[in-house]
Amino acid sequence: MGFLYFIELRFSLKLTPQTPKTQIFSLVMTSQIMKKKLEIISPPGRHWVGDGFHVHGMFGYGRGAVSRSPFLMMDYAQEEYFKPHDGRPRGVGTHPHKGFETVTIAYQGEVEHQDSNGGGGVIGPGDCQWMTAGRGIQHNEFHSKEYSKRGGNFEMMQLWVNLPKRFKEVAPKYQALTAGQNGTVVLPEDAGTVSLIAGELNGTKGPASTHTPM
């Protein structure tokens, strides 16, 4: 029997005492017959990744990791204002990854990426960068130079996707996926619109090339 595993992370973030905000992330893998809601997770406290990403670590390698497979980790940087500055862009310096994929989605602000395989670029609101670490890669992630100079609100999410054993040693790869490339699915009864980066929904496919069915 095929299964559709569904993780729903729902949390309310009070940006100001008068401004509640709810963010819902739905991560879907392998659509066949059954849908199973694994867990509803409240947000933990925030921590800094480098000096540019102030994130809630929504889940990691601990409790529930097996049931969430292939999703290894998810960080969410809620909306936050960064002042303009002309110095070194904020972010995370060069560091290694191996055996999985990093998926970064920008909601506000801009993220700039460079890696040892020659991949890189800048993503803005609605864009995604999908990096396959495979047999090993080094990369860095910073606020873009232009965003740093002008400042403004910043919001993003990063998801780590495990690679199947047979793909652990594939060549590293970088995909820059703009919002305009995403598939669009309008949900019935005015329930909203889905911007599809990977996988398939109601016959519409996302542009990302993946090693795991999404």
Taking alpha carbons only, the member of 148, 145, 100 closest to residue 121 is 145
pLDDT for 75 beyond 70: yes
Cα gap 178→51, rounded to integer Å? 25
Give yes or no for a contact between 82 and 91, defined as CB atoms under 8 angstroms apart: no
Mean predicted confidence (pLDDT) in 26-34? 41
- Please report, in angstroms and rounded to a whole number, the separation of the first and last CA atoms in the chain: 17
214 falls in which pLDDT band (50, 70, 90)?
confident
Instruction: Note the pLDDT tens digit of each residue in 155-193.
Output: 999 999 999 999 999 999 999 999 999 999 999 998 899
pLDDT for 3 beyond 80: no
Question: Which pLDDT score is estimated for 36?
Answer: 72
Question: Which pLDDT score is estimated for 1?
Answer: 30
Question: Which pLDDT score is estimated for 130?
Answer: 97
Residue 13's Cβ-count burial label (10 Å; 0-12, 13-18, 19+) is: middle
62 falls in which pLDDT band (50, 70, 90)?
confident
Question: Which pLDDT score is estimated for 28?
Answer: 40
β-sheet bridge partners, residue 9? 25
The token pair at 166 is 């047979």
Question: Which pLDDT score is estimated for 5?
Answer: 37
Question: Which pLDDT score is estimated for 206?
Answer: 95
Question: Which pLDDT score is estimated for 102?
Answer: 97
35 falls in which pLDDT band (50, 70, 90)?
low
Averaged pLDDT of the chain: 85
